[in-house]
Structures are given as C-alpha cells and as structure tokens.
A and B are shown apart, each in its own frame.
Chain A
C-alpha cells in the first residue's frame, strides 16, 4: 500500500484567508493511501520542512503532497526537504492552493472544496510517481572551435586556459581572420596586427590547443558532451614537420601574379604562399589551381630549391576523426563585393572599393606599404568619398539589417585618410550615425571636428567615371534634399556585412538553425545569447550577427565560459523528466513498432534508432530510443505514439490518467 503524507500550508493568511486548511487536511486524511495529513502556518519555513522530514521518517511515507503555493515557486524547496529525509525527491508533488485557489476565489465553501479536489488530484498522481534519478551523461572534455578569427582565437584561448583541450579548425592556411587584415582599430586607433598577432602565437604555442589550419569540418554527429567530428585537413602539399618557413619556395615560384586573398585582391602572391608574413602557422601551402606543376605537370621549382625537401606534391587530403564534448561556432562573416552595386559602377571602376580594400591600403603591411594609393593608377587621391550603408538597411537589396560596424570604421577610414593625406578632402555620405559604444560617439565627433571630415547626410544614387575621376551623385537631405555632385578620386563603400555563402551548409552539418539572412540563430535572443538550440553547440562572433571586435571577443569569452561550465563536471547532470521508450522481455523487446513517425516531431533530434540483435548479431527489430542527453522532456512524441510505447518520466500516462480519474 502507498503511504502518502499530505501537508497543507496556510501561507499565513494567504491560503488560510479563503481556504479552510483544517478541513482540507481532514478531507485528505480520508483519501485512500493517505496515512498522514496535517496543516501548518508556513510549510516552507524551517519548522514546516521539519514536519515533512519527520513524517517521512516516522510514517515511512512513500509519497508527499505539499498543498501550498505554486510548484513553480517552491517545488525545489520541498523536493530538497524530502531528499534530506531520504525520500526520492521526485516522490514529492505540490497542490497549488494559493495562486490557483485561495488568491483567485472568494471565501466560500466551493473554494475549500476546490482545494480538496486539487489535493486529491495530486495524491492520485503521487501514488503513481516513481523514484527518478538525475540523468548522467559523460562529457568528453575537449572542445572544437570552428573558425580562427578573433572570436575563435579568444574562445579557444579561454577554454584552453581553463585547462581543457581545444581543437581549433580554420579553413584558410592561417588563423587571424578578418582582424589580421585590418589596419588600425576604432576607437583607439591601435594597430590591429599588433594586438592580434601575439594572440595568434599564443594559440600556436598553447599546450592545450591543437591547430588545424587549411581544414574544414566534414561532419558532426553525436550530442552534447559526446560529439564526433570529422575534419578534412586539405593537402598543403608540404611536409609541415620539415618545413622551416624559410620562404625560399615563395621567392623561386615562377607564378607570382595571383591576386592575394589577404590583400583583398589588391596585392599579388605566388602559387606557393603563406597568406601574410605573421601567418600562424608560418608554413606555405601550394594553391593547386594556380600551380604550374599541378596544371601542366612541369616545374617543381619549389621542390628543387627547398632546403629541407619539404615539398610533397603527392600529399592527399586527410580526414581526422575526433571526439569533442562541445563546439563553438565562430566562422565569421564576409562583405558584399562592389560588383553587387550596379549603380556604383558594377564593381568595374577599380577606384570604387570596399572598406576591406581600404584597410589593406591603409595597413603598413599592405600592398602600398600604408600609403593611400588608388588601385587604378596608384595616384594618391585628393578627394575620397566614403559611403556608409552600401547595401545595409536596404530591403530593396535584400539586406534589411544594419551592419553595425560601418559607421565606426567609415569614421576611422576618413580619419586615417586625413592623417595620411593632410591636404586631401574626405566626404562621408551617411543615413544615420550609429555610434553606440564606449568612446564611439566621441570618436566620430573627433573625425568631424578635429579631422574635418565632411559628413553629408544623404544617399548616393550613382557613381560613374568621367575623365579618370569618379562623379558621385547624391543628395544632401539636410540641405532640403538638394542634389550634390562630387568629383572624387577614390570611393570607399562600407558594403554590407553578410553571412558566408556556405553558412547554410554549415548550419545543416551542425543541425542548428539560422535566420533569413543566413546568420546562425542563438537559443534565446536575450537570455541565451551564446547557446544554440542544439545542446552543446555555442556561437561567437559575426557568424551570429554583425559585430565589432569587442563584442565578438566578449561573446567568445561568454561561449568559452559556457563550455568550461559544461566541462566542470565529469558527467552532465540533467533533470530526469525525459521521454523513455519502453523495453520488454523477449520476444517483444519493446512494444515500439519502429514506425519512427515520432522522429520528425522531436525538435531536438533526440529520437534515435536502436537495433535489437540476437547474440550472433542477427537483427531482430529496430526500435526508437530517446537520447536522454538530448531530450528536453516536452512529451510531444508521447502524445503521438499510437501504442503508448513512449512515456514521459514525471508526467507518465498513468499519472495524468489518474489525475483525470480523480476529478
């Protein structure tokens, strides 16, 4: 026989004011299976909880119903109390006499009657509760970070410094990402590489970090704490152990006229190359598409000159399989090319460039050695027009969002130009100046006031070439919309920050969701900004939305601390309120017929296929299995299962059925 204890709380006058606790306790005492029923002013108080604990011990209770406030309020409290008295916490239920009864009804007999019913319902439920034990999922304490930009680097370092192994995967030959391309950074104008490269080196040397550059994620399976990643390490065509990065191969390579990705196409590079001098690792790759040997079968010059004989033309892509417990996605962004803007010259005027181009022009390590020269003829421009919001905030162009960083870097660009070319004139066309951020507004004011950058509020309708100069036709909306026409030598478009072309493919590999702009979606826009709705996968940086460096870094550290939190125990403990597919003795094994119609109803991919086999490995049947690591306990599958083969612990069919019958 069940031995249920009922504990009715007065909650001072809150319940006792309209409900008669004594009557409720007395009525409850008569319910079949109830062996103990009392009422007390404050059940949640120390003495109140002791009443429960004592009763559990003395009356050997098998279940407890606390008739008090909302379970959303005190269920944890009373379950803890039960646990302390040696009763499985999941054998304790609450009847909500306060929020759902005393606070919402008059002091009439019907109210007390309702209270009695509510208690009866819970008594019937708790009789059918089963002891539940928190679910333990083993955790592989190794994280994988996708993307070696500043966000990825920060996340990797933070996790590594927390003492956990990290695998950093970068698709380019070097880590560093876009930040490595930047000249100075707003609002402090400190040199980007100066602050970034030390971090890159730290990554390379960190004992906890394994770096896979020129590599991409092939596939990801498994679940939180237990992922299996397959990484494709693309053939570098050199032996990294032998290569010293001396660079002779690059000097000797006959093919030198390949637009350099790092310089946004403004500079050239050989077919065997390291993207930039401070690259990490400082080992070249052979760009097979442009290598004479790979194309024509002759050359091998690099091989001839390599002092350490490190060239490996026959090297193959390598697939690396690794178990990881968590994944941080930090794959970053790209910018719209100038060719996206027919009205700005189809990207055919060489002197209409993107912000990224300008960064390279302004960078001391850039193709012009930091001198602002226009691409077409190398002249130093006397007039430069900067256009903020090129594509951004323009639904007609399919980009309705704000790229967020453009206002700031445009101000920076104008400033840098004025510093480098004091006699030059800088104009900025803008819609609004969005300079929210520490020292940001001040920075923009400085550009306007100290560096005399001319800010024109209005959009540019057209840019076209006339006699070697660029005619910029726009409008000044502050001069009651008067058309303005400027002749410029160089135009810099702050083109929209967009997700990578293959963002969707990645999202599908990771089974995470993404928005209409192909940015990855966080689990909750406010309260879970670095988690994704697939447990164990976190997001950092501009692959989630446009961000500047400080934000990206902050989010990366956030993601890293989430990972560290996940890795803080050997096992992941989760609420046992999860769905379970029944198992039965042979020959039934399970009443599940394996139709898997429940599969698509699960938002968490928690439903797996389990093959039941004989000892000699012969397949008997395939049935569903709920992965407790992934299941969040919504019970949608339970309501779908025709044969009632799935049930939800804590809200079993039996329990809820009993509640209904108790009405």
Chain B
C-alpha cells in the first residue's frame, strides 16, 4: 500500500470515526520504555494513538518538552518513569517528581488543562500496566476532545532543516 493510500485511509478514519487523540509519551529508558517493550513481547494490544519518545531518565525530561508537545498539537502528554527507589540513576525520578509538582501547580493556575498530562510510574515488569494506562488515557482524552484552545507553535517558526 502506497503511503498516499495509507494517509487517505487514515484521513478516512479520522473523518468518519470520532476524533483520534494525538498523544506523546516521554519515558525513561530503563523502566517505562522497557515496560512498553514487555507489553510488546507479551503481545498486549493497545491504542495506536501514542508516540513514545525515549530519554535516559525522567530526570532528563525538560518541562519545556511537554509544552512543545502541546504546541505541536498533541491532545495529551504522558510522562513516565521508574517507581520511586527503582531509578537506574538512583534519584533522577525523585528530582523529576519535584519538578512535576511545581510545573503542574503552575499550569493549573494558568488554566492549562492538567488532565491532559498523565504522570505515571511504570516499571520494566509492568507491561500490562502500560497498555492499560495508554488505553485509559486515550479514552480520557477522547472524552475531553481535541485540545484546540492551546496555542500552536507557528509552523513557519520551525527551525530550518539542518544542513
């Protein structure tokens, strides 16, 4: 099937069926990414809406990235890492957690819809939890509808292609 056809098909579904949330997930390499791998090896099905971006540790996840994701038109953002105490780098997730506490308070105060950000701990053993989490979050976002009110990052401001 040629890409054009694929895209058409995709558009068709989009047009006919209900709105399909666009979800970006920022996950750490050691727990949640591995957990999502396990979901795969266990062949547990979940919604196609999520695009996973891999980082070494939740400590590395810059809050700006979450804004950027919304700015790129994401309807929901997932952020996930190792359970407290399991961090491959001993404490990255603890630092991340503090940052999230503050960031979340701030966004909520600004009226950003924090229900569209899903923070979670998913260990390398919790393949099933990852699938459930995604499915559940996709449903929640579907219920909330597209995040139209959030300002988009103007396309012409994308940095020029790297040469």
State the A residues within 8 Å of B (CB): 1-2, 20, 22-23, 26-27, 30, 32-33, 70-73, 96, 98-101, 103-106, 108-114, 116-118, 121, 127-128, 533, 577, 601, 603, 632-636, 638-640, 648, 651, 653, 656-661, 663
Cα separation A113 to B49 with both chains bound (whole Å): 10
Q: Which residues of A contact B10 (CB under 8 A)?
A: 109-110, 113
> Is the C-beta of B72 less than 8 angstroms from some C-beta in chain A?
yes
Cα separation A128 to B160 with both chains bound (whole Å): 12
Chain A to chain B contacts (Cβ below 8 Å), 16 pairs: A2-B163, A20-B1, A20-B6, A70-B37, A72-B33, A99-B36, A110-B13, A113-B6, A117-B51, A633-B56, A634-B56, A634-B88, A636-B96, A639-B62, A648-B60, A651-B56
The 3 closest A-B pairs by CB, nearest first: A99-B40, A635-B60, A636-B59
- Whether the pair B39, A99 counts as a contact (CB closer than 8 A) is yes
Given A103-B43, A601-B95, A661 and B72 contact (CB-CB distance below 8 Å): yes
A436 to chain B: closest CB distance in Å? 28
Q: Which residues of B contact A108 (CB under 8 A)?
A: 13, 48
A308 to chain B: closest CB distance in Å? 54
Interface residues of B in 12-40 (CB under 8 A from A): 13, 20, 22, 24, 29, 33-34, 36-40
Cα separation A113 to B1 with both chains bound (whole Å): 11
Cα separation A657 to B40 with both chains bound (whole Å): 26
- Whether the pair A116, B89 counts as a contact (CB closer than 8 A) is no
Interface residues of B in 119-141 (CB under 8 A from A): 131
Q: Which residues of A contact B95 (CB under 8 A)?
A: 601, 636, 640
- Whether the pair B56, A32 counts as a contact (CB closer than 8 A) is no
Given A104-B46, A113-B6, A23 and B69 contact (CB-CB distance below 8 Å): no
Cα separation A114 to B89 with both chains bound (whole Å): 31
Given A33-B161, A638-B62, A116 and B56 contact (CB-CB distance below 8 Å): no
State the B residues within 8 Å of A (CB): 1-3, 5-7, 9-10, 13, 20, 22, 24, 29, 33-34, 36-41, 43-46, 48, 51-57, 59-63, 65, 68-69, 72-74, 88-92, 95-96, 99, 131, 153, 158-159, 161-163
| Sample of 13 further A-B pairs with CB below 8 A, known A116-B3, A118-B51 | A100-B52, A104-B39, A108-B48, A114-B51, A533-B90, A577-B56, A634-B89, A636-B92, A653-B62, A657-B68, A658-B162, A663-B22, A663-B51
Query: Which has the most chain A C-beta neighbours within 10 Å: B20, B39, B44, B62?
Result: B62
Cα separation A2 to B90 with both chains bound (whole Å): 37
Q: Which residues of B contact A27 (CB under 8 A)?
A: 3, 6
Contact of B24 among A100, A632, A648, A660 (CB under 8 A): A660
Cα separation A548 to B162 with both chains bound (whole Å): 62
Q: Which residues of A contact B161 (CB under 8 A)?
A: 32-33, 127
- Whether the pair A659, B60 counts as a contact (CB closer than 8 A) is no
Cα separation A116 to B1 with both chains bound (whole Å): 13
B38 to chain A: closest CB distance in Å? 8
A80 to chain B: closest CB distance in Å? 19
Q: Which residues of A contact B33 (CB under 8 A)?
A: 70, 72
- Whether the pair B6, A116 counts as a contact (CB closer than 8 A) is yes
